[in-house]
Amino acid sequence: VGKDKADLLQGTLDLLVLKTVETMGPIHGWGIAKRIEQISQDLLEMKYGTLYPALMRLEQNGWISSTWGASENNRRARFYSITKLGRKQLAREAEKWEQMAAFIGRVLGSTR
Amino acid sequence: MAQFRSLASRFFALFRRRELEQRIDEELQFLLNMQTEENIRRGMDPPDAKAEACSKIGNRTQVTEAVYRMNTLSFLEESARNARLSLRMLRRSPGFAAAAIFTLAIGIGANTAVFNIVYAVLLKPLPYPEAGRLISVQHTAPGAPGMMSASGDLRLSASLFFTYADHNRSFEAIGAWSVAAATVTGQGEPEEVRTIIVTKGVLEALGVKPAAGRPLAEADQSPGAARVAMLSYWYWQRRFGGDRAVIGKSLIVDAQPAQIVGVMPAGFRVVDTEAELILPFRFNRAELELPGFYLRSVARLKPGVTPEAASADIVRMVDLWMNSWPPPSGVNPRSWDQWRITPALRPLRQDVVGRIEQGLWVVMGTMGIVLLIACANVTNLLLVRAEARQRELAVRAALGAGWGQIVRQLLVESLTLGLSGGLLGSAIAAALLKAVVAIGPASLPRLNEISMDWQTAGFALGLSLVAGLLLGLIPAWQYARPKLGQALRAGGRSATDSRQKHRAQNILVVAQVALALVLLVCSGLMIRTFQALNRVQPGFTKPEQIQTLRIAIPTALIAESERVMLTQQQIQEKLAALPGVSAVGFASTLPADGLPPNWDAIYIVEGQPRLPGQPPPMRRFKAISPGFLEAMGTRLIAGRSYEWVDLMDRRPVILISENLAREYWGDPRTALGKRIGYARNFREVIGVVQDVYDNGVHDVAPATVYWPTFDANKFMPATRNVTFALRSARTGSQGFLRQVEQAVWSVNANLSLAAIQSMAELHARSMARTSFTLVMLAIAGGMALLLGVVGIYGVIAYTVAQRRREVGIRLALGAAPSTVRRMFLRRGLILCATGCVLGLGGAVALSRLMKSLLFGVTPLDPMTYVVMPVVLLVAALAACYFPAQRASAVDPVETLRAE
């Protein structure tokens, strides 16, 4: 684990996964991890030990659903897609995040 | 842990364990393959590529764990972890655990047992349907001369009952009843049985249907009807083996055949009375007069009728009653107005429970205090442990445990203690209850209804939880606050402690001492009450040497009154001839034997003018034989007792009690030769008898007229139902009882002997309530004293241990051991004295509540209030002395080197 790779801010993993599933879905776990790493320009390293429970949790909450399917190289994989509830949750979370980011930006800006 | 996992997965039915594992396996395999391929694409060797992929993806167990942790309700899991942790801690210090759990178990056990008794006796509804509507109908008559002094209540007369039954607007049913003895003959030895004689309405009001056969009917109540009887369940089982064919057969009761019509269900009682037979009254309405107040009564209110409305109804009917029944000759019926007969309706429960209620609540309260003291003690132990564990807690906090988590851990620990104590306590309670039921204190009604049930279990559980929370709160509040950096820095070597830290402990000890003193004072007051009761001269001497037995002679067996008297005289002579018997006599009732007292009017008293038209004053009376006073040890104040010749010759003579003589003529001696009685039945006072405490020693001795057992009144010349009293040192021994039986049967083989007991048993029963409360309070007081002393000891010993280094320095600098000792003794004394002062205040306030339990002693009895604090102080000082002694024996060199 590289020192320069950032840890995920708590609570942001759900948001990232939801957004990825929304735009890319149906998508398998590998794809989600790759996509997030790619967008972060490899600043984030997705550990499956973290990603996996998050997927389960989102599914239990009814925000995503999953079915078995075949991957691009014809392997059996689980494909995740967002649900109606999930879209609502995503909108809520995204709004919260933007408010927070704006607030933190203001705080950092004002001290300068 | 495994249980909690499965519990958690049950919450999330979406994921069955096997399914979940399979899914994770498959997905991980997929990811592994993808990662390996990518690694190879990036130019790794296939083995390296696979190894790298494995390390990135992790193994199944890891992921499964993570999923489960997420699924598990975190609170439950944390509590379980805390519980496991605390169990481990407890196992590691078995001494502490045993002391704490046992202390709590005693407190919780005692409380659960007493609660069970309180519940069964006071709180559980009576075993009748809709028992809330049942009331007992009684009256007070503040204007009735003589009557109210001793008995407290005016019962119903038969005419009053009929008035109520015919004209009431408030009752669904009302009945009157009375208790009597009867002799059953015909099969085997004659047997005396208890009977309840009921009017129509008693069984209807109680709402209990017979277990077999039919209930008593209205037709059975008329004087001309065929005699019938109902059996109790147990008598049916015992005498007839539960044979249903017995219904319709006849039973010889008092030498008269009565047809058995039904059997009452098991455990049936009329209010507080159990009996073998239930018989109907057979009143002839035409012969009834206004007075004769001897019936108890039970009624069922109509739905929606309040007791107040029923009272108003009765006021109306009392007026009606005076106008509709004949008075005794020469008395104006309206003169009963002077008695001011007022209804006193009581919930039936009160009649069943009787006088034990207040005693029970006091006992319950004292047991609650014992539990508080026990909790204080265990809290002290926990505080000491928390102190010792402060470093551990600080480390946990430093490693990121939140304040809430530490509080939760401390609370779970104390709850674990509380529940363990509760479990053991329930076992103790069950054992205690078994013992109580086995001993069967006479003062406890409804004893047969006591059992361990879910209410009790719930009570024990609730008590354990409350105790557990109470225990944990103070340590949690003290130690979980974020001042832990300090603790870490001090490194557990804070040898010279701040006062602040001990404040909680000191407060607990002071509270313990105060509560213990309250209990000691209460039990001291009960001891003084018991002493006072025992000092009362009850009107008989050495009751353990008086053998009593009842013999009834029914009319059917011996019809003529004179022959009854002669038979009784013969029995008396035979009994007097037995070896070891010094005196024999008999009487209609014995002191405190529980038989309903007899009342009669005294119409004419020499030297006392009576207002014309007034009802004559009622007086208690009993019939006694020659020799009875000698057998009982009742002193003659003046004059002489009866002789057989007085009875044989029908001499118009009479004996009266000392208080009656004083009331009439001012002095026992002047009473001799005066005459009292009815218009044509004048009798001359030949003797004045010492006052006898007929209602038990806690009640006033009633003014009493002693008629002879023969020729007392024209309706019933002989007293057929008498109790013999034999004074003998052989009382109670089997050989003696057999000789007594033989002696009686040598006179007449058809006579039955009943109520064979010693006078001491009767006497003990009349003191039963006091002795019950006394024993319970003494146990509570003893426990409180012990726990309080242990508490003081613990705190002082702990202080000594904490200040060991300081003591070492002091001794090294030349302090005398006695000075060190005094230092700790003084600390103990200050704590204890503070507790005593507070405790005395509490005792003054609380002892008022038990005023009605006391006798011959005020709630502020100086003796008790001096002795009990001294006892407590001495015990506490002794408890302080040992640790103080140990402190002064500290070897300074060793202590300082150990640092």
**Residue-wise pLDDT tens digits, B785-820:** 888 888 888 778 877 877 777 888 888 888 888 888
The mean per-residue pLDDT over the stretch B509-523 comes to 88
Task: Tell me how far apart the alpha carbons of residues B56 and B53 are, in angstroms, rounded to a whole number.
Answer: 5
Choose between B899 and A68: higher pLDDT: A68
Task: Tell me how far apart the alpha carbons of residues B400 and B406 are, in angstroms, rounded to a whole number.
Answer: 10
Which residue from A minimizes the CA distance to B12?
A60
What pLDDT shows up at residue A1? 35
- Helix (H) or strand (E) segment spanning residue B163: helix B158-167
Contacts of B887 (CB under 8 A, 6+ apart): B800, B803, B804, B807, B820, B821, B823, B824
Least confident of B84-88, B142-146, B414-418: B142-146
Q: State the helix-helix crossing angle for B862-888 and B499-535, rounded to 10 degrees.
A: 140
Question: Tens digit of pLDDT for each residue in B837-850?
Answer: 999 999 998 888 88
Contacts of B30 in chain A (CB under 8 A): 28-30, 71, 75-78
Residue B4: pLDDT band (50, 70, 90) is very low
B688, burial (CB in 10 Å: exposed 0-12, middle 13-18, buried 19+): buried
pLDDT exceeds 80 at position B93: no
pLDDT exceeds 90 at position B569: yes
Task: Name residue B492's amino acid.
Answer: G
The angle formed by the CA atoms of residues B761, B429 and B520, to the nearest 5 degrees, is 70
Check if the beta carbon of residue B418 is closer than 8 Å to that of residue B100. Answer: no
Task: Tell me how far apart the alpha carbons of residues B378 and B415 are, in angstroms, rounded to a whole number.
Answer: 12
Q: For residue B119, how far is the Cα from the chain centroid?
A: 10
Choose between B258 and B81: higher pLDDT: B258
DSSP B448: G
Contacts of A50 in chain B (CB under 8 A): 66
Q: For residue A63, how far is the Cα from the chain centroid?
A: 12
What pLDDT shows up at residue B495? 39
β-strand pairing of B191-198 with B277-280: parallel
The residue behind tokens 């009452």 is B264
- Work out the mean pLDDT of chain B and round it to a whole number: 81
CB contact under 8 A, A52 and B23: no
Choose between B3 and B733: higher pLDDT: B733
Task: Tell me how far apart the alpha carbons of residues A63 and A50 are, in angstroms, rounded to a whole number.
Answer: 18
CB contact under 8 A, A78 and B31: no
Residue B436: pLDDT band (50, 70, 90) is confident
CA atoms within a 13 Å half-sphere pointing along the CA-CB vector of B631: 28
DSSP assignment string, chain A: --TTSPPPPTTHHHHHHHHHHHHH-SEEHHHHHHHHHHHTTTSS---HHHHHHHHHHHHHTTSEEEEEEE-TTS-EEEEEEE-HHHHHHHHHHHHHHHHHHHHHHHHHHHH-
Tokens standing for residue B558: 């011996």
B640: helix, coil or strand?
coil
The mean per-residue pLDDT over the stretch B590-609 comes to 73
CB contact under 8 A, B28 and A48: yes
Q: Please, what sign has the CA dihedral across residues B601, B606, B612, B614?
A: negative
What pLDDT shows up at residue B164? 93
Question: Tens digit of pLDDT for each residue in B676-698?
Answer: 876 666 788 999 999 998 877 77
B71, burial (CB in 10 Å: exposed 0-12, middle 13-18, buried 19+): buried
CB contact under 8 A, B24 and A78: no
What percent of chain B has pLDDT above 70? 86
DSSP B249: -
Task: Tell me how far apart the alpha carbons of residues B853 and B776 are, in angstroms, rounded to a whole number.
Answer: 13
The mean per-residue pLDDT over the stretch B872-882 comes to 87
Task: Tell me how far apart the alpha carbons of residues B396 and B394 are, in angstroms, rounded to a whole number.
Answer: 5
Distances (CA, A) of B148 to B388, B766, B860: 68, 20, 30
The residue behind tokens 């509570």 is B780
B721, burial (CB in 10 Å: exposed 0-12, middle 13-18, buried 19+): buried
Question: Tens digit of pLDDT for each residue in B171-193?
Answer: 999 999 988 778 887 766 778 88
B360: closest CA of chain A, how far (Å):
56
Residue count of chain B: 899
Q: Please, what sign has the CA dihedral across residues B228, B232, B238, B241?
A: positive
Residues from A in contact with B at Cβ < 8 Å: 28-30, 33, 47-50, 52-53, 56-57, 59-60, 71, 73, 75-78
Torsion-angle region of residue B201: left (phi > 0), alpha (psi -120 to 50) or beta?
A: left
CB contact under 8 A, B14 and A48: no
Helix-strand-coil percent breakdown of chain B, rounded to 5?
A: 55, 15, 30
Contacts of B898 (CB under 8 A, 6+ apart): none
Residue count of chain A: 112
pLDDT exceeds 80 at position B429: yes
pLDDT exceeds 50 at position B646: yes
Per-residue pLDDT of chain A (112 residues), as tens digits, is: 333 444 555 567 888 888 888 888 788 888 888 888 888 877 777 777 778 878 887 887 888 888 888 887 788 888 899 999 889 988 988 888 888 888 888 888 765 4
ipTM: 0.79
Task: Tell me how far apart the alpha carbons of residues B145 and A38 are, in angstroms, rounded to a whole number.
Answer: 109
Check if the beta carbon of residue B148 is closer than 8 Å to that of residue B138. Answer: no
Check if the beta carbon of residue B185 is closer than 8 Å to that of residue B199. Answer: no
Adjacent-strand bridge partners of B242: none
What are the backbone angles phi and psi of residue B256, rounded to the nearest 5°? -120, 135
pLDDT exceeds 50 at position B223: yes
Least confident of A44-58, B368-382, B477-491: B477-491
pLDDT exceeds 70 at position B66: no
Residue B496: pLDDT band (50, 70, 90) is very low
Task: Tell me how far apart the alpha carbons of residues B734 and B736 are, in angstroms, rounded to a whole number.
Answer: 5
Adjacent-strand bridge partners of B149: none
What pLDDT shows up at residue B810? 84
Distances (CA, A) of B412 to B186, B483, B542, B681, B886: 70, 22, 59, 83, 35
pLDDT exceeds 90 at position B231: yes
CB contact under 8 A, B67 and A52: yes
Check if the beta carbon of residue B853 is closer than 8 Å to that of residue B529. Answer: yes
Tokens standing for residue B494: 């804070």
The mean per-residue pLDDT over the stretch B623-641 comes to 92
β-strand pairing of B653-657 with B618-624: unpaired
Check if the beta carbon of residue B291 is closer than 8 Å to that of residue B157. Answer: yes
The residue behind tokens 């009570």 is B459
Residues from B in contact with A at Cβ < 8 Å: 12, 14-15, 23-24, 26-28, 30-31, 33-35, 37, 56-58, 62-63, 66-67, 69-71
Q: Which of A1, A30, A57 to mutate to test the interface with B (most CBs of B within 10 A)?
A: A30
Task: Tell me how far apart the alpha carbons of residues B367 and B777 are, in angstroms, rounded to a whole number.
Answer: 8
Tokens standing for residue B226: 């065929």
Choose between B3 and B711: higher pLDDT: B711
What pLDDT shows up at residue B493? 46
What pLDDT shows up at residue B317? 92
What b/e sequence results for B314-346 when a residue is b if at least 16 CB atoms lie within 10 Å of its CB, and e otherwise?
beebbeebbeebebeeebebebbeebebbbbbe
Contacts of A47 in chain B (CB under 8 A): 56, 58
CB contact under 8 A, A56 and B56: no
Which residue from B minimizes the CA distance to A32?
B31
Which residue from B minimizes the CA distance to A62?
B14
Choose between A70 and B245: higher pLDDT: B245
User: Nearest CA to B842 among B527, B508, B512, B531?
Assistant: B512
Task: Tell me how far apart the alpha carbons of residues B709 and B566 are, in angstroms, rounded to a whole number.
Answer: 11
The residue behind tokens 């204080």 is B376
